[in-house]
Amino acid sequence: MNAGQFLTIFISAVFINNVILSRFLGLCSFIAISKETRPAFAMSLAVMFVTTMSSIITWLIYRFLLIPFNMTYLRTISFILVIATFVQLVEMVIRKFAPALYRFFGIYLPLITVNCAVLGVAVLNSDMFFTDGKSVAGGFLFSTFQGICVGLGYMLAMLLMSAIRERLDLCNVPKALKDFPLGFIIASIMSLAFMGFNGFKF
Amino acid sequence: MEPERPNKVAMKNSFQELIKGIIKENPTFVLMLGLCPTLAVSVSLINGIGMGIAATFVTIGSNIIISQLKNIIPGKVRIPCYIVVIATFVTITELVMKAYFPPLNRALGIYVPLIVVNCIVLGRAEAFASKNNVRNSLMDGIGMGIGFTLALLLISGIRELLGSGKLFGYNVFNKFEPALMIAMPSGALLVIGLLLAFFNQIKEKKE
């Protein structure tokens, strides 16, 4: 475990395998909520928080519950249930103790339960940082860090996209391309640009 | 002859439930649900068909179970209950795929467990199966599954043909430099964007 590995995870999760532009996770929310910058920012903050926390929780569950009892086939069910419960819990806590923050996140928190990015990073962690039913050294820190980085990658794509779409509002585009089709085409060009980061591979 | 009529009406209704998922309410192009797996796995036709069949199985299974349980599940905890039912079917799919189709399982990777959060499945459970009887829910599940599979076939066919010059892994063209970009992630976004624009254009012309 050294700083280099963390750097690799960071660059891979944020740029090379960007969660939206190359893995296509959380695409629905990416297209639906990226019309303006403010809600896009709120959504990405919420996603980053949940991916980080769910990385921690699902790692603990996988390491200390599923592997010792030989129940790894329950991975999908247990992960999604824990994530759904956790999101619900966070929503309740925020609503009770931080009403201002709750208004800021608004409807985006419950939406995160069905955001593929959250379950995706949990499944990826359990694929990447466990070999032959054993956690790799420092796997817990790697998982947590990957959770943060995936959230960062989501935020980066979200902010870029919303900034572009805010400008596009002023343009005159063909009617057939309006909203979703144009959103996808922009995302395609962004994804092409992100492919340039492939040269970073080391 | 009287008792036959409601039956006929019911048959006609369930047939309509089957048909609507294919074009009028196509999950991918009209409802815009379940895009993540659509784009990620549509590199080749085989992957597209595999993903389509897996998602169809899960939709049908969860629709049947949920429409039977709709009166037992309390309203407040319905979403977690639906998710458990769906996750069960996804786990079945995952295990079957691992056992009998390992190459397909490797190609689809993490997108198999991610069928759980495929909005089509949960969307149909919430919008249709929780309000309708078992037969209509079954038909709805089949229709949505076929619609999803057809959309996947269309996208993955275009991508495989243009991106690698093949169909089902066989070379189609002799002298053709495949546009590698179409086989890359950015190609998936481009293809679906253009297809959506195309369908919008057709819809507009009709009106």
pLDDT in tens, A132-154: 777 777 788 888 999 999 999 99
Contact A182 B193 (CB under 8 A): yes
Instruction: Compute and round to an integer the Cα radius of gyration of chain B.
Output: 19
Closest C-alpha to B188, from B150, B145, B154, B165: B154
- Given a cut of 80, whether residue A183 has pLDDT beyond it is yes
Cα distances from B119 to residues A27, B144, B187, in angstroms, run: 11, 12, 23
Q: Which of B80, B117, B188 has the CB atom closest to A116's CB atom?
A: B117
What confidence tier does B2 reach under pLDDT thresholds 50, 70, 90? Answer: very low
Residue B44 has a CB neighbour count (10 Å cut-off) of 21
% chain B with pLDDT above 90 = 13
- Which of A116, A168, A175 best probes binding to B when mutated, by most B CB atoms within 10 angstroms? A116
Average confidence (pLDDT) over A101-130 = 78
Q: What is the pLDDT of residue A130?
A: 82
Cα distances from B4 to residues B1, B9, B12, B15, in angstroms, run: 6, 9, 12, 17
Which residue is associated with the tokens 């805010």?
A166
Contact A74 B122 (CB under 8 A): no
Q: What is the pLDDT of residue B1?
A: 43
Chain A residues with CB under 8 Å of B122 CB are 114
Q: Report how far Cα B37 is from the mean position of its chain's Cα atoms.
A: 9
Q: What is the pLDDT of residue B7?
A: 63
Please enumerate in sequence order all residues whose Cβ is within 8 A of that of A107, keeping only pairs 6 or more positions apart, or say none.
Answer: none
C-alpha span between A176 and A178 (Å, rounded): 6
Q: Report how far Cα B44 is from the mean position of its chain's Cα atoms.
A: 16
- Given a cut of 50, whether residue A179 has pLDDT beyond it is yes
pLDDT, tens only, A23-80: 888 887 788 778 888 888 888 888 888 889 889 999 999 888 888 888 888 888 888 8
pLDDT, tens only, B102-143: 988 888 888 888 888 887 888 888 888 888 888 888 888 888
Contact A114 B200 (CB under 8 A): no
Number of Cα atoms under 13 Å in the Cβ half of residue B89: 25
Contact A188 B113 (CB under 8 A): no
> What H or E segment, with its residue span, contains residue A7?
helix A3-11
- Given a cut of 70, whether residue B162 has pLDDT beyond it is yes
* H helices, E strands: number in chain B: 9, 2
Alpha helices, H only, A62-171: 75-97, 99-105, 108-112, 116-128, 139-168
Closest C-alpha to A146, from A129, A163, A159: A129
> Distance from first CA to last CA of chain A, Å, rounded?
16
Q: Which of A73, A74, A175 has the CB atom closest to B204's CB atom?
A: A175
* Every domain of chain B and the residues it spans: 28-206
Q: How far is A180 from chain B (nearest CA, A)?
A: 7
% chain A with pLDDT above 70 = 95
Contact B119 A28 (CB under 8 A): yes
